Amino acid sequence: MAFKCSMAEVAVNLKSVCDKISYAAAKRAPEYQYYEPRLVAVSKLQSTGSIVSAYEAGQRHFGENYVNELVEKACSPLIVEKCREIQWHFIGTLQRNKVNKVLSIPNLYVIESVNSDKLANTLNNSWPRFRKSDDSKLNVMVQVNTSQEEEKNGCDIAQVSTLVKYVIENCPNLKFMGLMTIGMYGYDVANGPNPDFICLKKCREKVRDELGIDIKDIELSMGMSSDYEHAIELGSTNVRVGTSIFGSRPQKSN
């Protein structure tokens, strides 16, 4: 049974996750050996103290799902003081009326959940007001609903290339980094490779073929606490791990 970890346990858990990532990366096919997978510590509903503990143990990339929580944490005096090189990933559903809130935070690294041309357009139009230099672009990933579940966020599988093309051709302030999926919860890898991960890989190949992008320039953000090792073996470049580092999350208060 999962539990909330002490600050010392966070560091121990983080090392364990990093070791497992390295082991899984060593088992990858040769075509995936050109990069080291990136670990994003998903800190939603966790304390700022837990984030500082992970940061002080060497973690730099952190993911948040809720806009207000991200703003509160990123602007927290404790994190501003102690985590100066932190890199924030926004990985939740982003409503267009909250774009400016997210873009205003210090050390925003990427928006992983772009699911429509309207959202891409809003991000593109808003970013110049927040960027630190005239030529800096906002990193974005296109989220794909690989499991085709109605309650899941993400663009339709058939629309991936169209949305990526829109970002590249119509959003000069954005930098397309890759594709992201959440996928179906609870998949048992004893039944074979996760079909959501296979689907995202096929989407990447389609984007490469239709838009002429080097496949090494299309990241894959897939894999969470229950399946990140499997995701890495299948080619994930970016895994989002929360409970394996921080323990179970507190309940979200309304």
Q: Is the pTM of this model over 0.85?
A: yes
Whether 247 is covered by a domain: the verdict is no
Whether 75 is covered by a domain: the verdict is yes
Q: Are 149 and 186 in contact (CB under 8 A)?
A: no
Q: State the distance between the two ends of the chain, measured CA to CA, in whole angstroms.
A: 25
Q: Which of 223, 224, 174, 227 is nearest to 200 (CA)?
A: 223
Distance CA 60, CA 38 (A): 10
Residue 252 has pLDDT above 70, yes or no: no
* Rounded percentage of the chain residues whose pLDDT exceeds 90: 84
- Give the pLDDT mean for 186-214: 95
Rg for the chain, CA atoms, rounded: 18
- Give the pLDDT mean for 199-224: 97
Whether 1 is covered by a domain: the verdict is no
Residue 232 has pLDDT above 50, yes or no: yes
Distance CA 32, CA 186 (A): 25
The H-or-E segment that residue 16 falls in is helix 7-26
Whether 253 is covered by a domain: the verdict is no
3-state secondary structure of 139: strand
Determine the structural domain holding residue 91 and report its residue range: 7-24+34-241
Q: Are 14 and 57 in contact (CB under 8 A)?
A: yes
Whether 81 is covered by a domain: the verdict is yes
Spell out the SS3 assignment of 21-60.
HHHHHHCCCHHHCCCCCEEEEECCCCCHHHHHHHHHCCCC
* pLDDT confidence bin for 1, thresholds 50/70/90: very low
Whether 143 is covered by a domain: the verdict is yes
CATH number, domain of 16, equals 3.20.20.10
- Per DSSP, helices labelled H in 104-235 are 117-126, 160-170, 195-211, 228-233
The tally of domains found in the chain comes to 1
- Residue-level pLDDT at 7: 78
Whether 254 is covered by a domain: the verdict is no
Digit-coded pLDDT (tens) for 31-47: 999 899 999 999 999 99
Whether 220 is covered by a domain: the verdict is yes
